[in-house]
Chains A and B, each alone.
Chain A
Amino acid sequence: MNVTNPTARLPAKLHRRVCLVLTEDAVLAEELLARKKLASEVAGRLSEKVLLIRPGRLDAVLDELRKMGHTPQVVGK
């Protein structure tokens, strides 16, 4: 499409009700993935700082993060 047209609607796909973990930096994301229990709840890594969580596993992820001593900010619970 012509992206220079300021009025054009942008074709996009919506992914609703996605559970994500955003980390401050890539090293922190690596640290989380190194935790076996947490890694099993991660469906994949969207980018170096964004982890995609399996549906319905939010509480397990939160518990594990808190066990690791992290204090995650939860948006939209």
Chain B
Amino acid sequence: MPATPETDWSSRCRDALARYAEPLLRSVGDKLVRPRSKQPTDELLDKAAAMITNAPVIDRRIKEQPPASRKLLAFMGVSRQPRWKVGHLLTLLAALDHNDGFSPVQTLLETGLLFPELDPQHPPIDSFASWFGLAGTHNAVVFAHPGVAARARGEDFGLPNLASDDTHATPRAADGFEWPLRLAAVWQQVHADTMRLTQGNTLFKRDLVRLQSDAVLAAPPVDQLASIADAGVLALLWARAVGLLGERDGTLEASTFPTAWDGPLFALLAELFAAMPLVEPWDPLAGYSPPENGLSPTPTAGLLALLLARDFVHPTAVAEWLWSHHPSWAGVIPTTATDKGAGWVRGYLLGVAYPLGVLEVSGELVRLSTFGRHVLFGEKEPPAPPAFPQTLLVQPNAEVLAYRQGLTPALIAALSRFAAWKGIGPACTLELTPEQTYRGLESGLTLPMIVQTLNRHGTRPVPPGVADLLQRWASKRERITIFSSAVLVEFQTPAELDLAVSRGVVALRLTDRIGMTADGGEPSLSHLRLIGNRDYESKPQRCLTTSDDGVTLTVDTPQADLLLEAEIGLFAEPLPIDQNGGRKFRLTPTSLRRAIDSGRPLADIDGWFAERSGAPLSSAGRLLLLGAQMPPPLAVRLLVVKLPTVEIADGVAQWPGTRALVAERLGPLAVSVNEEHFEAFRDALRELGVNVVG
């Protein structure tokens, strides 16, 4: 389930309400807004959307809910993820012994504290139960306004206190950079080479192996307390969930870095934490494992494990609780494992949550860190780590050392755009390469911006040799420029193009009569009088006439486009321009042969002529092209018999008495007869009373 880019949750709530059938909307409105009189639908929608952000009202509405519904909202609140699959929410409630089925979700939907996520084509909802029945446990997704979910965070889940009595030393916490760095590295991988997904929305083997064997992504983290399987795949799925990667036509592509990467580290980590429940087809023990039934236990078991670690707990104790309470988690623990899933819990808590900064550890024990309590329970945010702006060292061999303590999300994002990650450690290593420099420039950076980033964060200036390299790589990019969608301005004479350049209408001269603005954009039309307008993404226009001789082609100049000008030379030879400036071409055996030799088969040539002149290659053209390849024409002496009417000619060609004697039907009124058959032919017709004269 990819992350939603939509952040205006109030509008989303209003839009969802607007998709309810009116009786259902009024029923929900009665519970949420409690209007004193019947209001118009639009007014009711506005009031409901406003009510959702009214904290005192929301507090009262939450308090009125049954315990299971309050806990459901609380799960959404502590996870910071406003969108959940219904199946996951029911799993979480089942782990707390609330086995009421869809009822807690339905109660919240009916109160307007929860909303169904609907396809744009979905018809208006008249009943939540029927919507859920249609969508199914595995696909039905609900969302709550983040403000509403946050108000429910104080709800007691009734989880046991598994705190260990063991003495613990001063806890230690990770710096929080591990996952941002890994997500940036996987973003870079996808930016360099997109990843196609199968029809089942899973990774192809090739990409899976690529992620598993990547030197950066598969390397163990700096402060490794527990190993996890397929860390590269987790990074990929997480990057997708957090919006760093997007999906288009079944292909994963690198998006621009979301705005959270411009802010402080804790804000970014909170975003990553909120995206954790969206990472489904991954498991700390099995690695990449797309769930067969559509619901992975990872999001739910992971969240419960974190909630159980509010105070120092042993991962084994957490595993034991999950083993006996989570309805599906034990099923993913390998049957060979005798630890009741302790390895899974250790992997999730120490391999995922600890590097994210959500947990701190003391010996074997783990608990939520100050930052963890902040993101889950809204406690006070810890102070930001000290800043060390000069943290890069650009070496003469074009490698860059990035000391981890001075990194920021913005610097990680900036470096990822123009330098290739080579190692993630206490001092991360990057490499400046031609390809990566090119990608940085293509992403909108300029060479001065790259050098400035390296200098601003560098402990010393960029070595001159490296600056030269960057300059050379950047210059190489200038050698070829592709304008993907330019507007060309064609003037009638070179003098007019000169004038247009002097007036600044166009900046680049492409030919002696065609120019273009510097960026290929639309020119100022105030200096131009348009005599033609062609769109090259549209179907080509007819602008060619084939003369009666079948070989002379006349160009309709006002209608013609550049493609015609460029392509017609493949098929025909230009003739001198006539007095009126009209352009003509002639088909010749050589010109047509040239087209065939350049890889254009006859079908292509026919298609081109049909597009440009409305008819395929003329018969004369076919004669020029194919005549030499056909069997030689045969010259024979035949007698032509002309018949008085078409019907008589048809009869002669059809009647068995004459049919075998007719050599060929030559036309509506004429047949040919071999000389030796002529007497028999005449006799046959004479029997019918038809005398052939001559």
**A contact set with B: CB distance below 8 Å:** 1, 3, 9-24, 28, 32, 40, 43-47, 50, 52-56, 58, 61-62, 65, 70-77
Nearest chain-A residue to B512 (Cβ)? Answer: A47
Nearest chain-B residue to A36 (Cβ)? Answer: B599
- In the assembled complex, the Cα of A50 lies from the Cα of B512 at a distance in Å of 12
A71-B505 in contact (CB<8A):
no
Interface flag for B360 (CB, 8 Å): no
A70-B511 in contact (CB<8A):
no
A52-B531 in contact (CB<8A):
no
- In the assembled complex, the Cα of A23 lies from the Cα of B499 at a distance in Å of 25
CB distance from A57 to the nearest CB of B (A): 11
- In the assembled complex, the Cα of A17 lies from the Cα of B534 at a distance in Å of 9
B499-A3 in contact (CB<8A):
yes
**B contact set with A: CB distance below 8 Å:** 434-435, 438, 441-442, 473, 476-493, 495-496, 498-500, 505, 508, 510-511, 514, 519-521, 523, 526-537, 558, 561-563, 565-567, 569, 599
Interfacial chain A residues near B477, Cβ < 8 Å: 71-73
Known: A12-B491, A15-B490. A44 touches B562 (CB 8 A): yes
A11-B531 in contact (CB<8A):
yes
- In the assembled complex, the Cα of A20 lies from the Cα of B528 at a distance in Å of 22
Interfacial chain B residues near A46, Cβ < 8 Å: 510-511, 514, 562, 566
Determine which of A18, A50, A61, A73 lies in contact with B511 in the assembled complex, contact meaning CB atoms within 8 Å.
A50
10 A-B residue pairs with Cβ-Cβ distance under 8 Å, sorted by A, are A3-B496, A12-B490, A14-B489, A14-B530, A16-B534, A19-B536, A20-B486, A46-B562, A73-B478, A75-B483
B532-A13 in contact (CB<8A):
yes
Interfacial chain A residues near B536, Cβ < 8 Å: 15-19, 55
A71-B434 in contact (CB<8A):
yes
CB distance from A71 to the nearest CB of B (A): 4
Interfacial chain A residues near B484, Cβ < 8 Å: 19, 58, 74-77
A71-B534 in contact (CB<8A):
no
Interfacial chain A residues near B491, Cβ < 8 Å: 10-12
Nearest chain-A residue to B511 (Cβ)? Answer: A47
A10-B529 in contact (CB<8A):
yes
Determine which of B510, B520, B537, B562 lies in contact with A75 in the assembled complex, contact meaning CB atoms within 8 Å.
B520
Which label, helix, strand, loop or mixed, suits the secondary structure of the B interface?
mixed
- In the assembled complex, the Cα of A29 lies from the Cα of B536 at a distance in Å of 22
A73-B496 in contact (CB<8A):
no
Known: A12-B496, A73-B442, A76-B519. A19 touches B486 (CB 8 A): yes
- In the assembled complex, the Cα of A20 lies from the Cα of B509 at a distance in Å of 13
Supply 15 further A-B pairs (C-beta < 8 A) apart from A3-B496, A12-B531, A13-B558.
Answer: A10-B529, A11-B528, A12-B490, A15-B489, A17-B485, A18-B536, A18-B562, A24-B479, A24-B480, A43-B562, A43-B566, A47-B510, A74-B484, A76-B519, A76-B520
Interfacial chain B residues near A23, Cβ < 8 Å: 479-480
Interfacial chain A residues near B558, Cβ < 8 Å: 13
Determine which of B526, B534, B563 lies in contact with A52 in the assembled complex, contact meaning CB atoms within 8 Å.
B563
Known: A44-B563, A52-B563. A13 touches B481 (CB 8 A): no
A24-B478 in contact (CB<8A):
yes
Find the residue from B511, B519, B530, B566 having the highest chain A CB count within 10 A.
B566
Interfacial chain A residues near B567, Cβ < 8 Å: 43-44
A62-B482 in contact (CB<8A):
yes
Known: A75-B483, A75-B519. A14 touches B529 (CB 8 A): no
CB distance from A39 to the nearest CB of B (A): 9
- In the assembled complex, the Cα of A49 lies from the Cα of B596 at a distance in Å of 26
B599-A40 in contact (CB<8A):
yes
CB distance from B82 to the nearest CB of A (A): 34
B486-A71 in contact (CB<8A):
no
Interfacial chain A residues near B483, Cβ < 8 Å: 18-20, 22, 75-76
Interfacial chain B residues near A22, Cβ < 8 Å: 480-483, 508, 510
A15-B480 in contact (CB<8A):
no
- In the assembled complex, the Cα of A53 lies from the Cα of B530 at a distance in Å of 24
B480-A21 in contact (CB<8A):
yes
Nearest chain-A residue to B516 (Cβ)? Answer: A20
CB distance from B443 to the nearest CB of A (A): 11
- In the assembled complex, the Cα of A19 lies from the Cα of B511 at a distance in Å of 15
- In the assembled complex, the Cα of A43 lies from the Cα of B480 at a distance in Å of 17
